[in-house]
């Protein structure tokens, strides 16, 4: 079996996907823009061959790379990056090389356009915030009036990450938004007062879930825009309504043979047209694993290896890893260099060294949202999660954490 991995070196933990494929006997072929000598030793040992291009943005170069590897090793069975940014590239390569194990270009609109996601959610019976494709200030004011007023949230209709997003609370901020809005199509949504939960899963060729998980996190846009420090955690179990909605969304978006990361709001209070407090509301779909080191957190929380699980899907088309236990909380706390801290790194290691699974510097590309230095630990009880965050972030835990604590005590 030949599997071509696009940009196998980023993010760094994606080398584990290649390693697990290699363990399964798959011929792993990499295409990237990083020099071979800069690749991680594990990644080098996992790749049968690596083809460097000057840029992955040039389709002709990447096309020639795939053609070369196909000539050398035979027709590819899989082409995948597991990266949202390269979804279009992956799909076009599959089309051009007749690789049928993944999504084709015509399917991408509802996967990448936030406005196109809305009708799919509603067809699946999943509530979703009302939206408006931004044109001008007058049309925006009309939309805001139709939903009962401010606040609203504006973000690019396509794209990944939390940059260039805006919470708009009044007419003055609306005017400021139109003055500084980037030259891109924006979507404006009614603001939802809720906590963000993920639905992370690996699904097979029939769209059946092989494994699921969920984590709670702050609004990353607000974390970036307000320069806040980061804390989030994987839950021991997926709430039942969230699991149902996540599986409905997989079917509605016609997702097969993928690792996915969907995001939902859980309402903090009743919202007309969306649901009661505690209900889930569809936010957006991401057709790739959760970002940063989240796959590793999922592994620690559920005593599993999701990299191997995905590699088994590619190799065998099914789950091979047996059901695992125990299921625990796995928490991430990230500190920013720009924030003063009285508790040292050594203090943290002395206090939590026996439960720390990971700690160290974050890549610069992730530090704006995730922090410059991270700590990951596992706990059986949520009270310990809260204490961990309060200690490392020196009392500045995000609001959603204390809100979850109040729910847990009910």
Secondary structure of residue 141 in the 3-state scheme: helix
What is the C-alpha separation between 297 and 309, in angstroms, rounded?
A: 15
Are 301 and 329 spatial neighbours (Cβ–Cβ below 8 Å)? Answer: yes
Side-chain-side CA neighbours of 380 within 13 Å: the count stands at: 2
**19 is written with which tokens?**
């390693």
Which pairing describes strands 280-286 and 258-267: parallel, antiparallel, or unpaired?
Answer: antiparallel
What is the C-alpha separation between 186 and 181, in angstroms, rounded?
A: 9
Predicted local distance difference test score (pLDDT) of residue 398: 84
Are 207 and 346 spatial neighbours (Cβ–Cβ below 8 Å)? Answer: no
Predicted local distance difference test score (pLDDT) of residue 410: 44
Instruction: Output 59-66 pairs: Cβ under 8 A, ≥24 positions apart.
Output: 59/89, 59/92, 62/6, 62/31, 62/89, 62/93, 63/93, 63/96, 65/31, 66/4, 66/31, 66/93, 66/96, 66/97
Predicted local distance difference test score (pLDDT) of residue 199: 98
Predicted local distance difference test score (pLDDT) of residue 163: 57
Secondary-structure percent of the chain, ordered helix, strand, coil, rounded to 5: 40, 25, 35
Predicted local distance difference test score (pLDDT) of residue 344: 96
- 319's CB contacts (< 8 A; 6+ apart) are 202, 204, 210, 211, 309, 312, 313
* C-alpha dist (Å) from residue 231 to 109, 160, 217, 222, 318: 32, 20, 7, 13, 33
- Spell out the per-residue pLDDT of the chain, length 410, in tens: 999 999 999 999 999 999 999 999 999 999 999 999 999 999 999 999 999 999 999 999 999 999 999 999 999 999 999 999 999 999 999 999 999 999 999 999 889 899 999 999 999 999 999 999 999 999 999 999 999 999 999 999 986 555 578 999 999 999 999 999 988 999 999 999 999 999 999 999 999 999 999 999 987 777 887 889 999 999 999 999 999 999 999 999 999 999 999 999 999 999 988 999 999 999 999 999 999 899 999 999 999 999 999 999 999 999 999 998 899 999 999 999 999 999 999 999 999 999 999 999 998 888 888 999 999 999 999 999 999 999 999 988 888 887 776 665 44
Predicted local distance difference test score (pLDDT) of residue 350: 97
**133 is written with which tokens?**
């494709």
What is the C-alpha separation between 315 and 309, in angstroms, rounded?
A: 10
Secondary structure of residue 39 in the 3-state scheme: coil
Predicted local distance difference test score (pLDDT) of residue 403: 76
Predicted local distance difference test score (pLDDT) of residue 299: 98
Predicted local distance difference test score (pLDDT) of residue 306: 98
pTM, two decimal places: 0.93
């Amino acid at each position: 079996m030949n599997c071509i991995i696009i940009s196998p070196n980023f993010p760094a933990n994606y080398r584990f996907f290649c390693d697990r494929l290699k363990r399964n006997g798959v011929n792993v072929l990499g295409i990237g823009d990083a020099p071979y000598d800069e690749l991680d030793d594990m990644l080098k040992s996992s790749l049968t061959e690596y083809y460097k291009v000057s840029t992955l943005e040039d389709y002709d170069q990447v096309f020639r790379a795939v053609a070369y590897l196909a000539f050398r090793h035979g027709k590819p069975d899989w082409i995948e990056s597991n990266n949202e940014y390269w979804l279009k590239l992956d799909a076009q390569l599959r089309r051009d090389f007749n690789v049928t194990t993944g999504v084709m270009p015509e399917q991408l609109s509802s996967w990448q356009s936030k406005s196109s996601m809305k009708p799919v959610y509603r067809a699946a019976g999943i509530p979703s915030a009302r939206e408006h494709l931004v044109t001008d200030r007058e049309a925006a004011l009309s939309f805001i009036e139709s939903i009962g007023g401010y606040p609203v949230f504006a973000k690019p209709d396509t794209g990944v990450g939390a940059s260039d997003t805006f919470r708009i609370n009044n007419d003055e901020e609306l005017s400021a938004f139109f003055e500084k809005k980037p030259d891109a199509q924006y979507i404006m949504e009614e603001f939802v007062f809720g906590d963000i939960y993920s639905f992370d899963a690996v699904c097979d060729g029939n769209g059946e879930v092989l494994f699921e998980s969920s984590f709670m996190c702050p609004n990353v846009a607000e974390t970036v825009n307000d320069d806040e420090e980061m804390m989030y955690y994987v839950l021991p179990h997926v709430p039942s309504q969230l699991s149902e909605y996540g599986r409905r969304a997989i079917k509605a978006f016609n997702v097969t043979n993928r690792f996915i990361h969907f995001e939902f709001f859980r309402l903090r209070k009743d919202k007309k047209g969306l649901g009661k407090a505690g209900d889930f509301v569809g936010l957006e779909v991401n057709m790739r694993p959760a970002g940063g080191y989240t796959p590793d957190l999922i592994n620690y929380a559920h005593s599993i290896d999701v990299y191997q699980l995905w590699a088994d899907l590619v190799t065998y088309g099914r789950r091979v890893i047996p059901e695992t236990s125990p299921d625990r909380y796995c928490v991430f706390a990230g500190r920013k260099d720009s924030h003063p801290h009285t508790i040292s790194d050594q203090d943290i290691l002395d206090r939590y060294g026996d439960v720390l699974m990971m700690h160290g510097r974050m890549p610069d590309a992730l530090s704006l949202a995730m922090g410059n230095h991270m700590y990951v630990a596992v706990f059986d009880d949520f009270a310990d999660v809260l204490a961990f965050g309060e200690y490392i972030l020196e009392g500045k835990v995000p609001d959603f954490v204390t809100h979850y604590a109040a729910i847990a005590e009910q």
